[in-house]
Structure 1
Amino acid sequence: MKQQLARNISTYRKERGLTQEELAQILGLSFQAVSKWENAQTMPDISLLPELSRTLQVSIDKLMGYVSQQKPITIYEEEYKTEDYYWGTEPNSACYEVLRKIPPTRRLRLLDIGCGEGKDAVFFARNGYEVTAFDVTDAGVEKTKRLADQVGVHVHAFKADLLDYRLDTPFDILYSSGVLHYMKPEFRDEIFANYKQFTNEGGAHVFNVFIQKPFIAPPPEKEPNAHKWYSGELLAHYRDWLILDSSEIVFDCNSSGIPHQHAMSKIMARKVSAQGR
């Protein structure tokens, strides 16, 4: 909990545009005290939490690492509450690429970041991967568990916000499809560094992101918490990894009932030890 609280204080302080000195001044403390919190050397006194919460404009639960959303993060919060699966139950084509290039010939731990209703996570579990998955929506997590139960596999699914959640145990494969546009640009370096640190040698990341192209009209869905990615930006995070695939596609979509197009950048990259390079 200490590490999670340290990260969250630093994250939300920066979101508010405050320096350590400015936060300390508001709280009537020395900046060294704030520095020690953010380095996980000490924790704030419990009596300071209400003022810290108000100053950082975040609930105490969320500050402590518990997901407690006062407002939806994604427009799909309500869509997932229906009995039907909004995205269907057929896996993304990238799942087959993972199965082909990184088959579970041994125990492989896979994390699905932003699993939605669980179709990809369940596919991986059915094919022999040890799957952990999280999503920011309660309904998505419950439907992931339900789908896993229906096909007789186990997926360790839980609720988390990718802006807050950090890895503290290693995985062999990190996978995410259609989710990373919720990642704010100012936190991408830190989040990707965490993902890479907690990936086993020989492991891989399989991600895609929606990218901005001048010849593609904005999508009809209004995503208030979406953030832009650009061509080459995702690839730049993997300059020190072996690139197995890096491509861009344009595809048709009808998810909102209005035909439109998306441009997407994809990457599959493997972590190779210095000796193996």
Structure 2
Amino acid sequence: MKDKLARNISIYRKEKGLTQEALAQKLGLTYQAVSKWENAQTMPDLSLLPALSQVLEVSIDKLLGYAYQDKKITIYEEEYKTPEYYWGLEPSRMCYRVLELLPPTKHLRLLDIGCGEGKDAVFFARNGYDVTALDISDAGLDKTKRLADKIGVPIKVLKADILDFRLDSNYDILFSSGVLHYIKPEYREEIFGNYKQFTNTNGIHVFNVFVNKPFIAPPPEKEPNAYKWHSGELLGYYHDWLIPDSSEVVFDCNSSGIPHKHAMTKMIAQKVSEIK
């Protein structure tokens, strides 16, 4: 709790363009008090949380690391409430690359970031990985659990906003498909730094991102919380890792019922031991 609160105060203070001193002045405190909060040396008094929440313009729940319950983060929440699986049940092709590169011949922890309705997470669990599935959608997580129960595999599910979530334990595999455009550009360096830090040596990250191209029209889905990526941007965060695979593709999509195209970067990166 203390570490989450410390990190969130720092994140939302910077998002508001406030220095530690400026935040302290608004709260009638010394900047040393704010510094101690952000370094997790102390926690704000409970009586200060309403004022802190008001100044930073985030809910107390969000400050404490709980996902928003009243804000629509994903446009797919209603789609996931239907009996049908919006994205189908066929696993992403990237799943098979994980099996090729890091097969579960030993205990391997895998985190599916933005699992949606769980088709990829369940595929990994069926193949012997120790899977944690993360998403902001209650309906998506419910479907993930139902699908895992139907197949008879264990999966840990976790509700979290990708902007707030940070790793605090190590994984061997981080997997994310069609989700990372929800990360604001100003958060990316810090978030991917966290992902890399809490990845075991020889572990892999298997990610894709939608990239902006001037010759491709914007998608028909109006996503208020989506942020553009550019060609090569994702790869730049992994300049110090081995890159077994990196490609960019343009493909047809009909997910909304309206034919359209996407450009996407696909990347596999592996954390290898440094030479001493």
- Aligned residue type for 1:78: E
User: Which residue of 1 is the match for residue 38 of structure 2?
Assistant: 38
- Distance (whole Å) between structure 2 residues aligned to residue 143 and residue 29 of structure 1: 46
Match of 2:54 in 1: 54
Structure 2 matches for 1:98-109, cutoff 5 A? 98-109=98-109
My pick for the range that moved more, 257-266 or 16-25, is 16-25
Query: Structure 1-normalised TM-score?
Result: 0.98
Residue 217 (structure 1) aligned with residue 217 (structure 2): yes
Partner of 1:80: 80
User: 1:96 is matched with which residue?
Assistant: 96
Query: Paired residues, what number?
Result: 276
Alpha-carbon distance in 2 for matches of 1:138, 1:52 = 28
Give how far 1:57 is off. Answer: 1.1
Deviation at 1:68, TM superposition (A): 2.9
> How many angstroms apart in 1 are the aligned matches of 2:11 and 2:146?
34
Name the SS of the counterpart of 1:274 in structure 2: coil
The equivalent of 1:241 in structure 2 is 241
Structure 2 gaps of 5+ residues are: none
Distance 2:264 2:63 in 1: 33
Per-residue CA deviations over 1:82-105 (Å, capped at 9, x if unaligned) read 111110111011001111121111
**Structure 1 segments of 4+ aligned residues over 2 angstroms from their partners:** none
Q: Which amino acid aligns with 2:272?
A: V
User: Quick one: distance in 1 between partners of 2:43 and 2:226?
Assistant: 32
TM (norm. structure 2) is 0.98
Which residue in the other structure is 1:259 paired with?
259
Q: Distance in 2 between matches of 1:14 and 1:252?
A: 39
Residue type of the alignment partner of 2:223:
E
Query: In the TM superposition, what are the counterparts of 1:7-46 in structure 2 within 5 Å?
Result: 7-46=7-46
Distance in 2 (CA, whole Å) between partners of 1:204 and 1:41 is 33
Trace 1:179-190 onto structure 2 (pairs within 5 A): 179-190=179-190
Take 1:253 and 1:134, find their aligned partners in 2: how far apart are those partners?
24
Distance in 2, Cα, partners of 1:264 & 1:5: 34
What is the CA–CA distance in structure 2 between the aligned matches of 1:189 and 1:146, rounded to whole Å?
A: 35
Letter in 1 for 2:186: E
Give 3-state SS (helix, strand or coil) of 1:71's partner. Answer: coil
- Secondary structure of 2:231 counterpart: coil
Larger CA deviation: 168-177 vs 21-30: 21-30
Deviation of residue 232 (structure 1)?
Answer: 0.3
What is the alpha-carbon distance in structure 2 between the residues aligned to residue 21 and residue 116 of structure 1? 41
CA RMSD of aligned residues (A): 1.0
Identity over aligned pairs, percent: 74
| Residue of structure 2 equivalent to 1:201 | 201
Q: AA paired with 1:253?
A: C
2:3 maps to what in 1?
3
